[in-house]
Structure 1
Amino acid sequence: MIEKFLIGTYSFDLKPSHGIYELELNDDTKRLQNLRFVAAAGNPTYLALSKKNRLYAIDKVWDHNWGEEDAKLRGGIAVLDNSSRPAMALSYNLNPGTSPAYVDIDEKDQMAFTANYHTGVVIVYKIQADGSLKETDRVQDKGHTGPRPEQQDGAHPHFADLTPDRRLVVVDLGQDRLYLYDLSDAGKLTPVSHFQFKPGFGPRHIVFDPKKGVAYVSAELSSNVAVMNYDQQAGKFTLKQVISTIPDTWTKHNGAAAIRMSNDRKYIYISNRGYNTIAVFKSDPSGKLTLIQQAPVAGDFPRDFNFNHDQSMMIVLNQNTNNATLYTRDSMTGKLKMVQKDFRVPEGVCVCPEKIIK
């Protein structure tokens, strides 16, 4: 069986990548194969694929309508028809300034969400019948900063997506905060609450376990993961546990990045950029975590990773060394075993499952 994955990359301003790619995972041989160009885009660092096979990709361009010497940077979302190769652009939603860091879609209510780390803006869109996006609301908060250099110029939201009870949660690295909003059918946001982490915590991404009533937050700046109690009725987060993603003896740079949860909710995985591992945690019945493995990635700066369809394997992208690493995953222990480490992917930073070919 062959599984296909879409790959987002850094591709802006003379990078070795040219945009969005596709790679195959051969489940029988347990090998990555056949990297293929999909579409040109400027820094498509995050991707979301709809059931209608429309690809929503981060995009960044120079707008030369102002003249070559005064070209303006614009960033946002490109909507592409993923049924063709190369994938054909259907529409663009680009705003002044650089591109967002995150995009995802909600199939139920046909909405999309972006978080822009650089501009501090979170945007909600309605997905139109033709797949294009219509902005319905946006929020920006500049009122709080943290102690790290990355935080001192205000808000830096790195994630905006739905909670299990269909509120919008925003993870703001710049302000060390989780924001929670009610989201109306019309795509309008109403503030509900926010949780303030300790200064310098640097939260990045979040995943939820609704059965245990907890959420797990990867913290880029402090190399931690936080276990949060999530009270749906009250619409509030409280802190349950903080545990490091790296050893105390590691003194060089590290930034925790992507976070994933196994389908059985027993294991949490976080990428370490600098220490260059996938940290594997076991979750107990209350949601508390214990570190059980540091799996080396055989590369540098693993920004994103993802499972295959049955979570028997995991693909990791190493941005600085332009390679992907493949592991098998033991569903009983949660641990990873490297089976391939030398598959070339230029500046890979996002792994988006696409389809299965039997």
Structure 2
Amino acid sequence: MIEKFLIGTYTINASQGIYQIELDTDKKQLQNTQLVAEIGSPTYLAESKAHKIYSVDRNMEEPELRGGVATFDGKTIPAKEMQECIEKGTSAAFVSIDERRQFVFTANYHMGHASVYKIQSDGTLKLTDRAHDNGIPGPLPEQADGPHPHYANLTPDDRLVVCDLGLDRVYLYDVSDQGKLSLVSEINTHPGFGPRNITFVPRTGKGYLVGELSSKVAVIDYNEEAGLFTIQQIISTIPDDWESHNGAAGIKVSKDKRFVYVSNRGNDSIAVFKIKPNGDLRRIQLISSEGEFPRDFNFSEDESMFIVTNQNSDNASLYSRDAETGKLTLIQKDFQVPEGTCVVRRENID
């Protein structure tokens, strides 16, 4: 069986934009890197069930830096560009889709805001609201210039959660049917934690928040009825004796709700955690990403295999995944993918 994945990239060196790679699940190998769309630094992207690709868009052709989100029709390769929502300033860092209400959310790290777009009948986007904050920044140099939202996506009960790395804060919003945001609550992490991404386990009330600057994961207890987050546990993603720079990046939970995976940029590894009955984590494996700066990763459809892209070494690595233990075993390395930063599994693509 052939499964297909979209790869977001930086276009600083060899990359030209969005790529597609294939996973042959019978041969257990990655193959056929193919350019899907030429676009400037599509570092994060998402694909809707209607096969519209919504991508970070960085436009360097103007006299001043411009950025936003672009829409492509992903039913063909090359994908047809449908729209660019471009503004002055740099591009977003994260894109996600609300299929039920037909919204797209973005988080803009450098501009300090999260945005809501309504998906129109033709798949294009219309901005409906934007949330800003100007709180007290964290103590680290990366936080000195203020807010840095790095993630905007849905909770299991369809609220919007925004992780702000610059302010050491996580925000929770209600989203109206018109795409308007109203703040429900917020939580401060410890100074210098640097919230980057969060993932939830449905029906357990638990979320797992990765801190880029601290290289730690916070176990979050989410009270849906009250709309409140509380921190339950904090655990490191790297060895205690690691002294060089590291930035924790991607985080995902397996579908069986038993394991959490985190990528480490610097330690260049994947940390595997087992979820205890109370939701706390125990680290059970730290395995090399077989490249430099592993920013994102994803599972095969049945989660028997695991793909990670290494941005600085232009390669992807493939692992088998033991469903019982959650641990990874390297199958393939040095598969060429230029400047990979995002891995999105495609659904029902011929």
TM range (shorter): over 0.9
Shift of 1:355: 3.6
Aligned to 1:41: 39
C-alpha separation in 2, matches of 1:265 and 1:295:
21
C-alpha separation in 2, matches of 1:118 and 1:78:
18
Q: Is the 8 A contact 1:2 1:357 kept in 2?
A: no
Q: Is the 8 A contact 1:46 1:102 kept in 2?
A: yes
C-alpha separation in 2, matches of 1:21 and 1:155:
31
- Once the two structures are superposed, residues 194-218 of structure 1 have per-residue CA deviations (whole angstroms, 9 ceiling, x without a partner) of 0001110011000011322110001
Aligned to 1:277: 269
C-alpha separation in 2, matches of 1:224 and 1:80:
35
Q: Is the 8 A contact 2:49 2:347 kept in 1?
A: no
Distance 1:110 1:356, change over 3 A: closer
Aligned to 2:7: 7
The structure 2 residue matched to 1:254, chosen from 246, 260, 274, is: 246
Shift of 1:285: 1.5
| Structure 2: stretches of 5+ with no match in the other structure | none
When the two chains are superposed, the root-mean-square deviation of aligned CA atoms in Å is: 1.0
C-alpha separation in 2, matches of 1:63 and 1:313:
39
Shift of 1:63: 5.0
C-alpha separation in 1, matches of 2:80 and 2:157:
35
- Once the two structures are superposed, residues 101-139 of structure 1 have per-residue CA deviations (whole angstroms, 9 ceiling, x without a partner) of 000111100000000001101100100001111111001
- Once the two structures are superposed, residues 215-238 of structure 1 have per-residue CA deviations (whole angstroms, 9 ceiling, x without a partner) of 000110000000011011111101
Q: Is the 8 A contact 1:101 1:116 kept in 2?
A: yes
1:238 aligns with 2:238: no
C-alpha separation in 2, matches of 1:138 and 1:82:
27
Q: Is the 8 A contact 1:212 1:286 kept in 2?
A: no
Q: Is the 8 A contact 1:4 1:356 kept in 2?
A: no
Q: Is the 8 A contact 1:109 1:185 kept in 2?
A: yes
Q: Is the 8 A contact 1:20 1:37 kept in 2?
A: yes
Secondary structure of the 1:147 match is coil
The structure 1 residue matched to 2:117, chosen from 97, 122, 125, is: 125
Aligned to 1:79: 71
Aligned to 1:68: none
- Once the two structures are superposed, residues 45-66 of structure 1 have per-residue CA deviations (whole angstroms, 9 ceiling, x without a partner) of 11110111111111110353xx
Counterparts of residues 1-358 of structure 1 (less than 5 Å): 1-12=1-12, 15-62=13-60, 64=62, 71-355=63-347
Secondary structure of the 1:72 match is coil
- Once the two structures are superposed, residues 51-95 of structure 1 have per-residue CA deviations (whole angstroms, 9 ceiling, x without a partner) of 11111111110353xxxxxx0211111100111221110111111
Secondary structure of the 2:341 match is strand
Q: Is the 8 A contact 1:58 1:78 kept in 2?
A: yes
Secondary structure of the 2:251 match is strand
Q: Is the 8 A contact 1:214 1:230 kept in 2?
A: yes
Aligned to 1:67: none
Secondary structure of the 1:150 match is helix
C-alpha separation in 2, matches of 1:173 and 1:160:
12
Distance 1:108 1:221, change over 3 A: same
C-alpha separation in 2, matches of 1:157 and 1:355:
28
Structure 1 moving runs of 4+ over 6 Å = none
C-alpha separation in 2, matches of 1:174 and 1:200:
9
- Once the two structures are superposed, residues 275-310 of structure 1 have per-residue CA deviations (whole angstroms, 9 ceiling, x without a partner) of 111000000111100000001111111000000101
Q: Is the 8 A contact 1:2 1:356 kept in 2?
A: no
Secondary structure of the 2:142 match is helix
| Structure 1: stretches of 5+ with no match in the other structure | 65-70
Amino acid aligned to 1:35: T
